[in-house]
Amino acid sequence: MAASLSTIDGQINVVTPENVAFHYEVAGPFRRLPAYLIDLAVRVAIAFVMLIGLWGVSAVGAFDFGIGFLAIGFFVLTHFYGGLFETFWNGQTPGKRLIGLRVLSVDGRPINALQAVLRNILRDVDTMPYAFGFFWPELQLVGLYWVGLISMALTERYQRLGDLAAGTMVVVERKSGVHGVVNVSDPAVLALAAEIPVDFEATRSLGKALSMYAERRLALSPLRRAEVARHLAVPLIARLRLPAQTNYDTLLCALYYRTFVAEEPGDVEAYRTPAVPLTEAPLIRV
């Protein structure tokens, strides 16, 4: 997969070699701060429980064992909390899950364990310079993530140094409000659906891309909608022998209609004469 950045509205597209575009909103530092604070609160709560455990083992005469266990526990909690959660929770920690964020590879794929651990271990570099030592960098009063903030300000994907090294980015998860098949009733869509060859069959990956686009398009601005649709529509226009100026957004909605709504090609025969010229079809709403 190859990433293609666009700065129309501060968001990005990740485009596959098959010209399927996935749209993401990258999370900046202020969007990520609540998730960080939630995770910090979770870690403090875990540390408090560990201290209570130390008091308990000390009461039974195992203080030395408790100190060793506590030191290891604090080290793991500080440097592997994020890596372990992001590995097993598909790029999320408790804070990110509550706020609706997820870590992905820059090519749009889920991150692997190495990326999850690497981006979190290198958090120490982002927090430089240290004021309170190696084991609990979040408590420092000087060097409050200045290196990480500067790095995020200088990169289009808001990546701190750990993200740059691991090839990751943090995106905002969009919860789909659409359930089932999207209702498509615009005359321009039905007219264009009638122009699609009767032997057209969407592959599984194309069907998934059409479904994702139809569900999310209403949340996109007209300019962003055209940009996202273009990557998939351009090769399809050539493949289906449609006019070169066919509206990209209308085409993807028409293909969605043919794939998921129309029971057979005859369902759109009444629209063989389009209500509006296909090359001038407006951006429709479904």
The per-residue pLDDT for range 41-86, each reduced to its tens digit, is 999 999 898 888 877 777 666 667 778 788 888 888 888 999 999 9
Average pLDDT over residues 160-165: 92
DSSP state, residue 221: -
Q: What whole-number percentage of the chain has pLDDT above 70?
A: 71
Helix (H, G, I), strand (E, B) or coil at 7: coil
Q: Which residues of 169-200 are buried (b: 16+ CB within 10 A; e: fewer)?
A: bbbbbeeeeeeeebebebebbbbbbbbbeeee
Per the DSSP assignment, residues forming a β-bridge with 171 are: 26, 102
Q: Is the pTM of this model over 0.85?
A: no
Question: SS3 of 13, please?
Answer: strand
Contact 191, 274 (CB under 8 A): yes
How many Cβ atoms sit within 10 Å of the Cβ of residue 218?
Answer: 12
Q: Where are the beta strands (DSSP E) in the chain?
A: 2-5, 12-15, 21-26, 101-105, 168-172
| pLDDT, mean of residues 166-178 | 76
Q: pLDDT band for 22, please (50, 70, 90 cuts).
A: low
Locate 255 and state its tokens: 């293909």
Instruction: Write a three-state SS string for 119-167.
Output: HHHCHHHHCCCCCCCCCCHHHCCCCCCHHHHHHHHHCCCCCCHHHHHHC
- Interatomic CA distance for residues 107 and 60, integer angstroms: 53
Phi, psi of 274 (to 5 degrees): -65, 145
